[in-house]
Chain A
């Protein structure tokens, strides 16, 4: 009887250690509370707590490829960030773009969501193609890594790149980018998450920090498809 009790206690202690270890791999989530509401043309936005705002994608007002490849998603972003009014309109490849910038319009960090219609198995190839496209838009572009990753609760595929902007009001700046492709599910299409940070940020110091340090981790970890 005593031996049985001892084994039960040992099992319980062991289980606690295993559960603790498992918690280390559990993605952290944003648990802000809803306080007030706002609205605008393309999206329902809800201000959460005082420092984050929720963007919720809505199919209204999108045209062309964005309308054809529309996907329901939402994410939280710091309320101090600004939404790019051009995103989601005209030739924009993105549904939305939010940005933290300096007073002289230098990007510190930004986050954009575009569409991705491919499936999981073609992600490495699509990443190569996207990287090729990006290379023409950034001076001194260099892809530095690519491979599987996780965005919040979703498995995806990413590539990271560096570039350099010269003669900005803040001098020469390093640009660090990270693009995550999230494949579609049974009932929805996928998405491409595009994150940029520059050396003007005092929190992001390298391409490895994009989405890991600064304010982007809050945005990234809160991203979710509204129809899984």
Chain B
């Protein structure tokens, strides 16, 4: 396997694990247990996925009582922040610039920032300390996890070269 293939494979693995998987998991939580009065359910209708979603919700309904509230309401926010921070980490890997830090903090700014905005009354909604905690932790976790992954990926490539 040549270097380009190796790099492509590593990048695909990174995108799958750190970006697509968290987004899918967050989306699945919404699809299974959240109120259907959300725009995404109209999107599912438009995409012809409504029957599948209905089956999924019926199958997942016994879990609704058992799952903690944070799992259904705060975790998806955290997963979104994680995926966005990981995406930016991938785009800006190996670069050192001020802009990099602006983009890297975008997940944190939008996630935790909007919660603080709610607390200050300038963003619609009600401040939830759990949401805030999850957004904060997710951004930190994404930076740690992706920096390790990127370092590992780079050292593998260096050995391969």
Contacts and interface: CB of A to CB of B under 8 A. Distances in A.
Nearest to B30: A25
Given A4-B97, A228-B126, A149 B35 contact: yes
A29 B125 CA distance: 11
Contact of B65 (A7, A147, A153, A212): A147
B73 A25 contact: no
Interface residues of B, number: 40
Contacts of B103: 8, 11, 15
B106 A15 contact: yes
Contacts of A208: 36, 54, 57
A212 B61 CA distance: 17
Interface residues of A, number: 39
A177 interface: no
Contact of A22 (B72, B80, B87, B126): B80
A148 B37 contact: no
B23 interface: yes
Nearest to B128: A155
B40 A24 contact: yes
Contacts of A15: 84, 103, 106
Interface string A200-214: 000000001001100
B99 A8 contact: yes
Contacts of A25: 30, 34, 38-40, 76
A149 B38 CA distance: 12
A7 B91 contact: yes
B64 interface: yes
B126 A154 contact: yes
Given A145-B61, A145-B64, A221-B37, A21 B80 contact: yes
Given A24-B40, A24-B43, A120 B69 contact: yes
Given A14-B91, A25-B34, 10 more contacts: A4-B97, A14-B88, A15-B103, A18-B83, A24-B30, A148-B72, A149-B34, A149-B35, A153-B124, A220-B37
